Amino acid sequence: MASQQRLLQQIPAVDALLNEPGIRNLRERLSHGALVALIREELGALRTGIQSGAAGSADVQPGSIAERVGRRADALTSPPLGKVINATGILIHTNLGRAPLCAGAQQAVADVVGGYCNLEYDLEGGRRTSRLGRVRDLLTRVTGAADALAVNNNAAAVYLGLHILAAGREVIVSRGELVEIGGSFRLPDVMEASGALLREVGTTNRTRIEDYAAAISDRTAMLLKVHPSNFLITGYTHAAATGELAHLAREHDLVMMEDLGSGALTQHPRAYLRGEPRVQETLQAGADLVCFSGDKLLGGPQAGVLLGRADLITRLAQHPLARVLRLDKLHLAALEATLVEYLAGEEGLNRIPLYRMMQADAREIRERAAALIAQLAGQLPAGWQFEAVDTEAAAGGGSLPGLTLPSAGVALAAPGVSMEDVARHLRQGTPPVVGRIEQERLILDLRTLVEDDWVGFGAHLAARLQAYVREQTSGGR
């Protein structure tokens, strides 16, 4: 206790630390107030470390404190979002930003990000117009829907529909469709927040149209069908079809809404999306409203798309809540550019990175893995092993559960070396490389590298691994 007290007394004052060379150099990047806040945060952490026995005399030296404050400053001022090379084999990786944007969408964002744009301005007529007019036109042309609306994500689309069309009244849902989205975000919670009253019917694995019919009362506003796009229930199962629910809804003057989540379109290749319900087919089956995500199978930016009956879409679009949930100019630019590619047919679809990666030939990926290994050969000490391996990639992002794609990658291993440490080191590079650990080997699945990632990838990977070896050799961990 006495030694801890002495260490606490040796902690320099904030004013003294402000004159440390390592902290003075930060004045060009941070204001006085911001620097003081960082110093106080570091001193608070230091006191905690001393009291727990984790910090010693070296840690209270002004130079050491200044170095740690510098690291805090670097973490604070470095861009929080940045490019990552996805070598996980998960195509729509939620933690890595879901679907990568096509070149057209990237250019569209670049064109509007730095200045003014015609977001809500009619250049021909010289007057104000709706920001959603162009995206509405594109969505209806691509899907054949009567009308369309886009908001900031699919959860917002579901919430908007429930709140405006069913608040204070019952919405009938199958128990087998009460899904949980990533991050513990559950459909019943969305419904409760919207003001709609959940009425569960059927069982986890079997819900018949008769279950919905028996639950309808004068309190019912909507029949809701939810596609379980992030899990599979197999075996003894049954779910009421969209057409059945739409017919039942019309009989009782109710709204039938379907949340398709991942948003497969008829334009998407059947070979990879077998059994996945299509947006156009759902509309044709009679659903009044259909909603899905923009950054999943569509291959666009984060957005929630609502399609369906013009009178219902108008009600949603004119409600004040639609303004709360509206898209900004960057997301609109990216979404519009993505939809333009769909108007170009298969040629446009092939310009969307998600579908280039999905349809890449596994043999070609294996050849790239072999070429990468040849580039790495001899650049690391003896014992490091690089092997071309067959892998299985997945759609991810709450889409196409159970679907795997044959892929290939590079497996790294070395005696006495923690591949978890190597993976962490690769994640700390610029750009970071994110792989996965399998059976104590680091797997870099190459299906999920976008075209730009390949430029200098081998050299970057070799440099990061060499830096790791040097750190280990010098004890710099």
What number of helices (H) and strands (E) belong to the chain? 20, 19
pLDDT class of 232 with cuts at 50, 70, 90? low
Instruction: With a cut of 70, say whether residue 183 has pLDDT above it.
Output: no
pLDDT of res. 381: 85
Q: Specify which residues 238 forms β-bridges with.
A: 206
Q: Which residues contact 206 (CB under 8 A, 6 or more apart)?
A: 176, 236, 237, 238, 239
Is residue 306 within 8 Å of residue 151, measured between CB atoms?
A: yes
Cα 232 from Cα 182, distance rounded (Å)? 15
Instruction: With a cut of 60, say whether residue 281 has pLDDT above it.
Output: yes
Average pLDDT over residues 151-169: 96
Is residue 257 within 8 Å of residue 306, measured between CB atoms?
A: no
How many of the other CB atoms lie within 10 Å of CB of 59? 17
CATH of domain 85-93+357-474: 3.90.1150.180
pLDDT class of 291 with cuts at 50, 70, 90? very high
Cα 222 from Cα 168, distance rounded (Å)? 11
CATH of domain 103-349: 3.40.640.10
pLDDT class of 379 with cuts at 50, 70, 90? confident
Residue keyed to tokens 């659903």? 287
Q: Which residues contact 18 (CB under 8 A, 6 or more apart)?
A: 24, 32, 35, 36, 39
Q: Residue 32 is encoded by which pair of tokens? A: 């006085």
pLDDT class of 382 with cuts at 50, 70, 90? confident
Instruction: With a cut of 70, say whether residue 406 has pLDDT above it.
Output: yes
Cα 220 from Cα 165, distance rounded (Å)? 11
Mean pLDDT, the chain, whole residue set: 92
Average pLDDT over residues 317-338: 97
Average pLDDT over residues 65-83: 90
Average pLDDT over residues 118-129: 94
Could you tell me the residue ranges of all domains in the chain? 2-77, 85-93+357-474, 103-349
Cα 150 from Cα 157, distance rounded (Å)? 8
For the chain, the helix, strand and coil percentages under 3-state DSSP, each to the nearest 5 = 45, 20, 35
The percentage of residues in the chain with a pLDDT greater than 70, rounded to a whole number, is 97
pLDDT of res. 230: 62
Cα 447 from Cα 444, distance rounded (Å)? 9
Cα 17 from Cα 63, distance rounded (Å)? 9
Cα 146 from Cα 77, distance rounded (Å)? 47
Nearest CA-CA partner of 385 in 375, 373, 369? 373
Peptide bond into 79 cis (omega under 30): no
b/e per residue, 173-190, with b = 16+ CB within 10 A? bbebbbbebeeeeebeeb
Average pLDDT over residues 260-264: 92
Q: Which residues contact 256 (CB under 8 A, 6 or more apart)?
A: 222, 223, 225, 242, 245, 246, 248, 249, 250, 286, 287, 288, 289
* DSSP 8-state class, residue 453: G
pLDDT of res. 402: 74
Q: In the Cβ-directed half-sphere of 78, how many Cα atoms lie within 13 Å? A: 11
* DSSP 8-state class, residue 101: P
Average pLDDT over residues 344-348: 95
Phi, psi of 395 (to 5 degrees): -65, -50
Gyration radius of the chain's alpha carbons = 27
The percentage of residues in the chain with a pLDDT greater than 90, rounded to a whole number, is 81
Average pLDDT over residues 146-169: 96
Nearest 5°: the CA angle 315, 212, 235 is 115
